[in-house]
Structure 1
Amino acid sequence: MPMRRRSFLGLGAAGAAGLGLSLLNAPGARAAAPTQPFAIGVRDFNWSRGSRQLFTRIFYPISGTPGGEPVRNAPIAGGVFPVVEWSHGLGGNSDSYASQVRALVSAGFVVPAPSFPNSSPQETYNGNQSRDVSEVISRTLALNTTSGDMFAGRLNTGVGVGAAGHSLGGMTTHGLLTAWPDPRVVAAVPVACVDMGNPSSSVKANVLFIHGENDGTCPYSSARQAYSELPAPKAFLTHVGADHGSYLVPGNPTYNQTQNTFLDWFRWRLYDDTAARDRLTADATSGGTRWEADLAARPSSVISLRSRANNQYVCAENAGGSPLIANRTAIGPWERFDLVDLGGGAVALRAQANGQYVCAENAGGSPLIANRTAIGPWETFQRVNNADGSISLRAQANNQYVSAPNGGANPLVANATSIGPSESFDLISG
């Protein structure tokens, strides 16, 4: 049994805070992403894993007027739907997270929601709950080939599955990526989790973390560590100053950011909905949130930047050890960057000399330097296409333009409020 690497979650009232929130086939083609919301059906199953009883409610799309209560055993809507499992937190059950589950179903997902037996931190740390989820996923997918079942032929088993959950459920979800891996999981959203172990090489998933900055139950720092350890594609939605789960409650000021972001995360990966991917930054952004995304597994272009101020190329001096400066007359390894498309016009620059991302240090107050291993606000730039064919880069950290000051003789810095020759660059491919 994998040993518990980190244990933070406490029992009692603190542990319950924020709860009470109301077999794969060969890879196949993704169905088109739904454009209209669905009404919701529900079926109950009394499954088990050995001696562990796994009562599971499966919520699923049906025809009818969206927004009402789930209809028991109603016929599934026309179409083929991906599966996204939802794991409840301490003291919860299949119905505890109605807002999140119903939103997923309305958007076109089949959502099995198990009620874990004897749910507790111990059951999470010993892997029982993660193994329970794998069993529920297997049982759900098997319905796709069960003769006479309403789900037969209606589950998209060729695209992988999604998994999500809050608190102990978030830890259970992270366990599927680490200590008790399930390679069928290709999209995951651990909400208010702690780090459950080292990433497994067998799981290739897009992972979105959602967490309150002042979470007193599952420390923010542990989720940040989990985020740093996982490979891209990944993202982190921070609710600034928030607690363990208030942002999951309808009416909370950042509730919409939570819902829209995790829905589009699953639509992107399981429906191949690139419009959803490109909405992520807008989904997540508000005065009460902070968004970080490293979607580097998406295609990127190799480019060089030539400053219009002096017609010289931007260089990652000393393989990224010194500030960027436009002082080279020819292109070599230090002048080549991967231009990483983050969607919605946002980009990051990764220096080929050292494989690290260009950062607008101190929110643009220091020269740009290629010294970061992950993409956050300081590594994110908005690409601006200028009328003269050049481009400019506006730093997300301070909304100011990258400039090659003093005719390109000084290091690049993101401190310009308007675009002139020093803020204009020719983008050279290859």
Structure 2
Amino acid sequence: MSRRVTPALLASALLMAGLVGCSGDTRSAAPPEPKPAATPTPQATAPPQDFAVGVRQLKLNRDGRALPVTLWYPAAGQAGGAVKRSAAAAEGRFPVVMFSHGLTGRPDDYAALLTRWAAVGFVVAAPTFPHTARGTNGDILDVLNQPADVSYALTQVLALDAKADDPLRGRLNADRVAAAGHSAGAVTTIGLFTTGRDARLDAGVVFAGTGLGVGTAFAGAVAPQLFVHGELDEVIEYAAGKAVYDKVPWPKAMLTLPKGDHGRKLLADRTALGVVSDTTVDFLRWSLYGDEEAKRRMPTEAARGDIATFDDHL
């Protein structure tokens, strides 16, 4: 992807310059014509039970760009215990969710949410980006290279399904894949459905995102989207996220947290995280497993406790 600084890239850089710590770590072209709503085709039955969770690391490199990937996955054993490193995978074939961290973030910052996704039946793959993770040079414009990083990492993750002796051999459902991300990672995620459209993606989850730098020209096959945004976001204004959401031409929903900020509510507020976790779980169960009961639960899950509101166009 070109690093030439256009006005759009400059605008993106000016915005993202304020995103230091955006992970919440407590330390344009017109869109395509709307397509008719479609119910995801079930590829497997959504698991009725939770799983134990395993974690492992992949060391990837894309043309000199180091991309270590953290993998959380359903594991054999009793659910509810501590995450176990390099645990044996549970029986079954599981959809894949690619997750992109925010600027100065790392995948572990989101472990409470991502391990929950793994526990209900998803393999979650989260790259650590070479220039925007905590401890790197913080090159803001490199966010625009990250959609290609995610696509590369996805290819490598899916290849594990056929790799002899790999713990995830035969465990990945390569036909059901989603992308998700927070803040700068949300920009990355939006880019995977616009300028860097990855045709393998079936759904997206955008936490506190904006389309600056990647646009709102959503392209390709229908891919339902869930947006999550706090009205008190001090980094990316709620209106900026809502403007991108409004351009999505596919089935979509927006979970709005009236008292939510840019990230701390997502990462540290257990009550708000519970609503976000349950709503995103139901969205992923519906969009990747075709679980219609999960779709019906979403408005109720989202509205409990007056923590959030739910704009539902799924």
TM-score, normalisation: structure 2: 0.85
Alpha-carbon distance in 2 for matches of 1:154, 1:44: 17
Alpha-carbon distance in 2 for matches of 1:68, 1:199: 43
Paired residue for 1:136?
Answer: 153
Paired residue for 2:30?
Answer: none
Q: Which residue of the other structure, out of 293, 297, 314, is the alignment partner of 1:275?
A: 293
The answer on whether the counterparts of 2:42 and 2:289 sit within 8 Å (CA) in structure 1 is no
Paired residue for 1:216?
Answer: 234
From the superposition, tell whether residues 121 and 78 of structure 1 become closer, same or farther in structure 2 (CA, over 3 Å).
same
Paired residue for 2:217?
Answer: 199
The answer on whether the counterparts of 1:37 and 1:107 sit within 8 Å (CA) in structure 2 is yes
RMSD between aligned alpha carbons? 2.1
From the superposition, tell whether residues 110 and 18 of structure 1 become closer, same or farther in structure 2 (CA, over 3 Å).
closer
Of stretches 201-210 and 182-191 in structure 1, the one that deviates more from structure 2 is 201-210
- For the pair 1:289 / 2:308, whether they are aligned, the reply is yes
The answer on whether the counterparts of 1:45 and 1:55 sit within 8 Å (CA) in structure 2 is yes
Q: Which amino acid aligns with 2:163?
A: T
Q: Which residue of the other structure, out of 7, 15, 21, is the alignment partner of 1:16?
A: 21
Alpha-carbon distance in 2 for matches of 1:15, 1:218: 12
Alpha-carbon distance in 2 for matches of 1:237, 1:278: 15
Per-residue CA deviations over 1:135-180 (Å, capped at 9, x if unaligned) read: 1111001111112222222111123x11111111111111111121
Q: Which residue of the other structure, out of 165, 170, 176, is the alignment partner of 2:192?
A: 176
The CA deviation at 1:117 is: 0.5
Alpha-carbon distance in 2 for matches of 1:29, 1:274: 10
Paired residue for 1:80?
Answer: 93
More helix by share: 2
The CA deviation at 1:17 is: 4.3
Alpha-carbon distance in 2 for matches of 1:87, 1:292: 24
The answer on whether the counterparts of 1:19 and 1:90 sit within 8 Å (CA) in structure 2 is no
Alpha-carbon distance in 1 for matches of 2:249, 2:286: 17
Q: Which residues of 2 match residues 23-422 of structure 1 at below 5 A?
A: 30-119=43-132, 120-124=139-143, 127-159=144-176, 161-195=177-211, 196-286=214-304, 287-295=306-314
Q: Which runs of 5+ in 1 are unaligned?
A: 296-430
From the superposition, tell whether residues 18 and 72 of structure 1 become closer, same or farther in structure 2 (CA, over 3 Å).
closer
Q: Which amino acid aligns with 2:98?
A: E
The CA deviation at 1:28 is: 8.8
Q: Which runs of 5+ in 2 are unaligned?
A: 28-39, 133-138
From the superposition, tell whether residues 77 and 121 of structure 1 become closer, same or farther in structure 2 (CA, over 3 Å).
same
Per-residue CA deviations over 1:363-404 (Å, capped at 9, x if unaligned) read: xxxxxxxxxxxxxxxxxxxxxxxxxxxxxxxxxxxxxxxxxx
Between Structure 1 and Structure 2, whose CA radius of gyration is higher?
A: 1
**RCO higher in structure (CA 8 A, sep ≥6):** 2
The answer on whether the counterparts of 1:15 and 1:217 sit within 8 Å (CA) in structure 2 is no
Alignment length, in residue pairs? 287
The answer on whether the counterparts of 1:38 and 1:63 sit within 8 Å (CA) in structure 2 is yes
The answer on whether the counterparts of 1:181 and 1:203 sit within 8 Å (CA) in structure 2 is no
Paired residue for 1:338?
Answer: none
Alpha-carbon distance in 1 for matches of 2:26, 2:71: 18
Alpha-carbon distance in 2 for matches of 1:187, 1:143: 21
From the superposition, tell whether residues 17 and 140 of structure 1 become closer, same or farther in structure 2 (CA, over 3 Å).
closer
